Amino acid sequence: MEPLYGPIRDYAWGSRSAIALLQGRSVPSAGPEAELWLGAHPGAPAHVDRAGLRVSLCDLVRDEPGQWLGQRVSERFGSRLPFLLKVLAADAPLSLQAHPDAEQAQAGYAAEAGRREGPRNYSDPHHKPELLVALTPFEALCGFRDPAESAEALAAFDVPALAPVVAALRAGPAGLRTAVRTLLGWPVAKRHDLLAAVVAAPVDGPDAELTRRLAQAYPGDPGALVALLLHHLRLEAGEAIWMPAGNLHAYLSGCGVEIMAASDNVLRGGLTPKRVDVDELLRVLRFEVLDDPVRAAQPIGPGVDWWPVPVDDFALHRVRVDAAVPSVTLPLPGPRVVLCAGGSITVDDGAGALTLASGEAAIGTASGAPLRIEGAGVAYVATSGLR
């Protein structure tokens, strides 16, 4: 195993404490720290040491796919690492967003490839399903809930302008597209008046509190109302959210380990100062109720559990070693990225043992032996989902 050095993205919604605490640094950090990227995505690749220099993992995987990926992963995904492991730390809401499926991403990327100004929505031809495991209490909006519940939440404000949206939602899932299009298509000049009327309504309850909080953070943004169409979740540490393509979501607060297909395709719908493309978002959304976005961990052996997902781009395992389970051996094929999320662990893939403190990461090539983890701590192990 080799040390893997991941960059920290400084998005404005990031925490000044979560990643610093994970890595044992002083708090608060100098600026917001939103995401620690541990992968080979060209937008922010991690690095490994080579002859005293830091070399991009993206370049190594591209130039030596046989060593880093192995034959099966290379044949399936080409000369690229198919997954991206992150630590996500949010002190403020992320944008309301969805990701395309593989077919939509390929078509969108092809359509935008010739633009002189660069891509509008699609930076690559890949889908972006994602799994997030909470490290701390975590709050999120994930997938459409029962439209009847959303209709009652919006009707409670007693704002006449919302009547068409309430009527659409009372028609059931068939009305979700109309409801979203109506809210996101609200005339810009009238958005502040709409949100002001909603915020001033004498309504109590979690839905009203959520809308007021989002409207305060993003004045005049109709995403504060679209939020009421989604499941509002509060996770405890160890609980996970599975977000397949086409599901509208927004992470609101907390810190978690996130793994996804290695793509940066994001269609935004609100709660952001960034560009919003309502038409393209509506094209990729799945207008159906997401029954249960929460995934429970499944134990597969002493000290080991995982969250199975129906894609072959990635798999995520959690390993906990202590006095009761001092070591674990995982017969997972490479490539493998290991993040220590607490304590101290030693990882060995047969090519060399490496000790990791909290917040440190390592990578092993595809040719390594079964992965052995020992010590006293918690590790998250990311691999491809091919078996």
Active-site residue list: 268
Find where tokens 């290991």 sit: 338
Q: Please tell me the distance from the alpha carbon of residue 34 to that of residue 379, in angstroms, as a whole number.
A: 20
61-73 burial, b if ≥16 CB within 10 A, otherwise e?
A: bbeebeebbbeeb
Count other Cβ atoms within 10 Å, centred on residue 177: 13
Smallest CA-to-CA distance from 150 within 69, 210, 80 is with 210
Contact criterion met (CB below 8 Å) for 20 and 26: yes
The residues, any chain, with a CB within 8 Å of residue 351's CB and separated by 6 or more, are 1, 364, 365, 367, 368, 369
Burial of 377 (C-beta count, 10 Å sphere; 0-12/13-18/19+): buried
Count other Cβ atoms within 10 Å, centred on residue 113: 11
Handedness of CA 243, 246, 248, 252 (dihedral sign): positive
Q: Please tell me the distance from the alpha carbon of residue 108 to that of residue 119, in angstroms, as a whole number.
A: 9
Smallest CA-to-CA distance from 131 within 363, 309, 285 is with 309
Q: Please tell me the distance from the alpha carbon of residue 190 to that of residue 161, in angstroms, as a whole number.
A: 10
Reading the block at residue 60, the tokens are: 């190594």
The residues, any chain, with a CB within 8 Å of residue 129's CB and separated by 6 or more, are 99, 242, 243, 244, 245, 260, 261, 309, 311, 313
The residues, any chain, with a CB within 8 Å of residue 363's CB and separated by 6 or more, are 1, 2, 4, 46, 48, 57, 335, 336, 337, 338
